[in-house]
Structure 1
Amino acid sequence: MNDIPIVALVIILVILIFLSAFFSSSETGMMSLNRYRLRHLVKSKHRGATRASKLLERPERLIGVILIGNNFVNTLLASLSAVIATQIWGDAGIAIATTILTIVIIIFGEVTPKTYAALHPERIAFPAAVILTPLLTLLSPFVWAVNQITSGIMRLFRLQANTGSGHHLSTEELRTIVHEAGALMPRRNQNMLLSILDLERVSVNDIMIPANEIEGIDLDDDLEAILEQIARSRYTRLPLYQGEINNVVGVLHMRSVAKLIKSDEPVTKELITEQAFEPYFIPENTPLHTQLLNFQKENKRLGLVVDEYGDIIGAITLEDILEEIVGELSTKEDVEDQDIVHQDDGSIIIDGTSNIRDINKALHWELPTEGPKTINGLIVETLEAIPQANTCVQIGDYRFETLQIKDNLIKSVRAYSIEE
């Protein structure tokens, strides 16, 4: 090798540095590929992604061929630099070559290529797969031998070579991915996906209509009052009950009543009751994602929520669950009956029966949702008593002033966000 011109040795040295950078960047690029995007590109028949995916099916073989190539190149680099340094500086050249080569390899063979590969893995991994694929075939005997020795050492120290697939996402991990999608996904779509993931955290009693707000038909009322109520109702389905909501006898669909009224037969309470179908009861702690499937399975749109004693404590519709996913499906009439009204002074008038989760969504607040479900319940729990007069109370970063109290119920409050 001493007969080879120094210029030729330097050129070979530079080529070896590039090869070292190639193997270093290939390793980082391959390991940094987003596995889910890679699967998408493979399904789209992207050639580079297909090659990279095949290499990553056996990561131990891929790492083996990269490390064999990288270590061979670095060893050759050390020997070649020692020869060049000896020719230039004599015996002292070995120490000089070691120092210079260490700096060069760290900068140009390791840190720079690996940093770039970590930032742009696809730009490195896909072209590198073209070279690594035949190289793996060529060096497969050496790779197999290295992997066998490695597996033997791991078994000797009782280390598990296979720890299972690490590519399955938990709900929290998927939620983080959706959050970090940024501009790649419209904000509305992000909110919908996050709402779907949150369905398992929320139960029917978190979003149900309380029993005292259920609009139903009391069969003890006069027939004229019942028909007038049916004519004025905005709902498609109404519970039929006798005296109180716990004595429910069925659920009436307005379409059935319309057919009954159009017929020549006189309308009676008995005929109305005959048109009703069996009520559908739901345990109060049923998760929303389960109830969504139950509605689909049972072909139901309205359910009556019951507690552990069988008493009806509320009602929930399929629309209520869909609103948890896509947001409010409000109409002009709904807008006129808002439970949350902003005032000119920055305060907010809130109906006492408003659901805390709805308030948090509408105002981007963080009121506690673990206990009571309404503002009335939250204030009463905080005060540990039903206020007899207008009272101010602070809950977390929010201040509430009761405005109207009637029948042991806080009807409305004025609310402020202290931070705002």
Structure 2
Amino acid sequence: MSDTQLWISVAAIFVLLVLSAFFSGSETALTAASRARMLQLEKSGNRRARVVSTLIAARERLIGALLLGNNLVNILASALATNVLLNVFGDAGVVYATLVMTMLVLIFSEVLPKTWAISRPDRFALAVSPIVRIVVGVFGPVVVAVEAIVRFILRLFGVDVTDGQAVLSAHEELRGTVDLQHMEGGLFKDERDRIGGLLDLKELEVSDVMVHRTKMMALNADDTAEKIVEEALKSPFTRLPLWRGQSDNFIGVLHAKDLLRALAKADGKADALEIEEIMTPPWFVPDTTSLQDQLNAFLKRKAHFALVIDEYGEVMGLVTLEDILEEIVGEIADEHDVEVPGLRPQPDGSVIVDGSVTIRDLNRATDWSLPDEEATTIAGLVIHEARMIPEERQVFTFYGFRFTVLRREKNRITRLRIMPLSETGKVFSIRQATPPMPKAATI
């Protein structure tokens, strides 16, 4: 081999290593590029972003074309390097070629370009997209044949990849992204909770957030107008359900503004009012309605209030637009809200909580992850796991927490102490902490 041929071969090896670095970096950048970011750039008129989106949409073909190009240039560079070193060192050139090419390919064609690409994936992908599009077009027929062979071989082993379906749904991908951003410090806890609450609307039902019938403030339509006006003015709520005859026979909803307008027309004389003319018909919704559907229904009907019924038509409680919005933005309080203390952190790290506090509210306040699939309130979770109505002072351990029943009224758990344990797990156990104490001495 002449000196001219030697230097031409060395120059060709250098060019091939550069091409190998291009293929490696392009593969990393295009697989790591943000599709959401590309979509935004595409909407703003960025043509390269449109090319990147098109390439990412056919990810399997893109990766196949880049791998094909990368292998071609690597194998050709290795062959040329072996030929050059054989002419220089004789038979020992094979060993030298292996060592030298391994080092060059590893450093300059793999680690360096991939590190560069992963540090700026979006910018790198936009820069290489025009050339990569040409590469995919040239190697397209070969890649299609390779894909067919690969699918056939995988099918022999019982693996079917023809569906091309994503493993995670869009909601799960968003939720995972939000949690990851929170772990890395990109989102504060409140921001994570708001986005998570928005994603949960489709999974939650009206019964999960409604005000239970035992806590509803309702008015008796058979009372005198003066008494109804008096109770309505004392109430912190704007909308009040009206019942007649039986406490579960709701006939309408009284709005405070409608009541005030009627009072103004009657010169403040409450006895001149006809309550049935002021009230509006009640709106009943099934308890299995998802919060997303109910929110859309509220917006469509321009209503803020609905009564929740079960499968037998019995009223279970009520739900308002505010109840749904609170699942997204957290507790909404105004100057008329009556705060009911339901969660009290203790110096020892435990939390004393009312049994009626919902699991979701507890998780949000403490950043825990107690399951809420089988129960809505924390008392319901304890009863579900215990498979019994616990006694006072009884202690349960499950999901990595110790639950102590502090107070029970009839069949309801009204107060608990929750202590997070060092080791988390779903092992359930039950023990009696102390012998039952006399009622006068219980907590």
How would you bin the TM-score normalised by the shorter chain? 0.7 to 0.9
8 Å contact from structure 2 (residues 213, 315) kept in 1? yes
Q: Note closer, same or farther for the CA distance 1:384–1:11 as it changes in structure 2 (3 Å cut).
A: closer
Mapped partners of 1:239, 1:336: distance in 2: 21
User: Which sits farther off after the overlay, 65-74 or 225-234?
Assistant: 65-74
Q: TM-score, normalised by structure 1?
A: 0.82
Q: Note closer, same or farther for the CA distance 1:342–1:333 as it changes in structure 2 (3 Å cut).
A: farther
* Correspondence 1:131-146 to 2 at 5 A: 131-133=131-133, 140=138, 143=139, 145-146=141-142
Secondary structure in 2 matching 1:26? helix
Mapped partners of 1:416, 1:59: distance in 2: 49
User: Which sits farther off after the overlay, 91-100 or 146-155?
Assistant: 146-155
Residue 211 of structure 1 deviates from its aligned partner by 0.9
Of 208, 211, 222, which residue of structure 2 is paired with 1:209? Answer: 211
Equivalent residue number for residue 242 of structure 1: 244
Secondary structure in 2 matching 1:329? coil
8 Å contact from structure 2 (residues 263, 273) kept in 1? no
Mapped partners of 2:201, 2:96: distance in 1: 66
Deviations 1:206-226 (A, max 9, x none): 111111111011134444432
Residue 156 of structure 1 deviates from its aligned partner by 7.2
Residue 254 of structure 1 deviates from its aligned partner by 0.9
Equivalent residue number for residue 27 of structure 2: 27
Q: Note closer, same or farther for the CA distance 1:254–1:411 as it changes in structure 2 (3 Å cut).
A: farther
8 Å contact from structure 2 (residues 252, 280) kept in 1? yes
Residue 255 of structure 1 deviates from its aligned partner by 1.1
Mapped partners of 1:144, 1:414: distance in 2: 65
Q: Note closer, same or farther for the CA distance 1:158–1:131 as it changes in structure 2 (3 Å cut).
A: closer
Q: Note closer, same or farther for the CA distance 1:335–1:280 as it changes in structure 2 (3 Å cut).
A: closer
Deviations 1:118-144 (A, max 9, x none): 45433543332354456667xx3xx35
- Does residue 73 in structure 1 map to residue 73 in structure 2? yes
User: Which sits farther off after the overlay, 33-42 or 167-176?
Assistant: 167-176
Mapped partners of 1:308, 1:353: distance in 2: 23
Code of the aligned partner of 1:146: V
Secondary structure in 1 matching 2:203? coil
Mapped partners of 2:202, 2:49: distance in 1: 35
Residue 336 of structure 1 deviates from its aligned partner by 4.1
Q: How many residues align?
A: 412
* Correspondence 1:109-128 to 2 at 5 A: 109-128=109-128
Residue 243 of structure 1 deviates from its aligned partner by 4.1
Mapped partners of 1:378, 1:62: distance in 2: 49
Residue 51 of structure 1 deviates from its aligned partner by 4.3
Equivalent residue number for residue 287 of structure 1: 290
Equivalent residue number for residue 190 of structure 1: 192
Of 354, 357, 364, which residue of structure 1 is paired with 2:357? Answer: 354
8 Å contact from structure 1 (residues 402, 410) kept in 2? no
Of 199, 202, 207, which residue of structure 1 is paired with 2:201? Answer: 199
Mapped partners of 1:214, 1:302: distance in 2: 13
Equivalent residue number for residue 404 of structure 2: 400
Mapped partners of 2:121, 2:375: distance in 1: 49
8 Å contact from structure 1 (residues 205, 284) kept in 2? yes
8 Å contact from structure 2 (residues 225, 274) kept in 1? no
8 Å contact from structure 1 (residues 393, 401) kept in 2? yes
Equivalent residue number for residue 100 of structure 2: 100
Mapped partners of 2:354, 2:91: distance in 1: 90
8 Å contact from structure 2 (residues 65, 140) kept in 1? no
Mapped partners of 1:338, 1:22: distance in 2: 62
Residue 110 of structure 1 deviates from its aligned partner by 3.1
Residue 191 of structure 1 deviates from its aligned partner by 1.9
8 Å contact from structure 1 (residues 28, 121) kept in 2? yes
Unaligned residue ranges in structure 2 (runs of 5+): 423-443
Unaligned residue ranges in structure 1 (runs of 5+): none
Mapped partners of 2:196, 2:351: distance in 1: 27
- The CA RMSD over aligned residues, in Å, is 3.6
Q: Note closer, same or farther for the CA distance 1:258–1:372 as it changes in structure 2 (3 Å cut).
A: same
Residue 331 of structure 1 deviates from its aligned partner by 2.7
8 Å contact from structure 2 (residues 262, 273) kept in 1? no
Secondary structure in 2 matching 1:309? coil
Q: Note closer, same or farther for the CA distance 1:250–1:380 as it changes in structure 2 (3 Å cut).
A: same
Secondary structure in 2 matching 1:245? coil
Residue 275 of structure 1 deviates from its aligned partner by 0.9
Of 272, 277, 297, which residue of structure 2 is paired with 1:274? Answer: 277
Deviations 1:155-182 (A, max 9, x none): 8769789644759843222211222234
- Does residue 86 in structure 1 map to residue 86 in structure 2? yes
8 Å contact from structure 1 (residues 376, 409) kept in 2? no
Equivalent residue number for residue 364 of structure 1: 367
Mapped partners of 1:404, 1:39: distance in 2: 56
User: Which sits farther off after the overlay, 356-365 or 291-300?
Assistant: 356-365
Deviations 1:87-144 (A, max 9, x none): 322344345324433443344333443354345433543332354456667xx3xx35
Q: TM-score, normalised by structure 2?
A: 0.78
Deviations 1:32-74 (A, max 9, x none): 3232222223223446534434544555765566456434533
8 Å contact from structure 1 (residues 209, 314) kept in 2? yes
User: Which sits farther off after the overlay, 62-71 or 312-321?
Assistant: 62-71
Residue 385 of structure 1 deviates from its aligned partner by 4.0
Q: Note closer, same or farther for the CA distance 1:255–1:179 as it changes in structure 2 (3 Å cut).
A: same
User: Which sits farther off after the overlay, 252-261 or 339-348?
Assistant: 339-348
Residue 12 of structure 1 deviates from its aligned partner by 4.0
Mapped partners of 2:67, 2:103: distance in 1: 20
Deviations 1:10-29 (A, max 9, x none): 34433332232222222332
* Identity within the alignment, %: 34
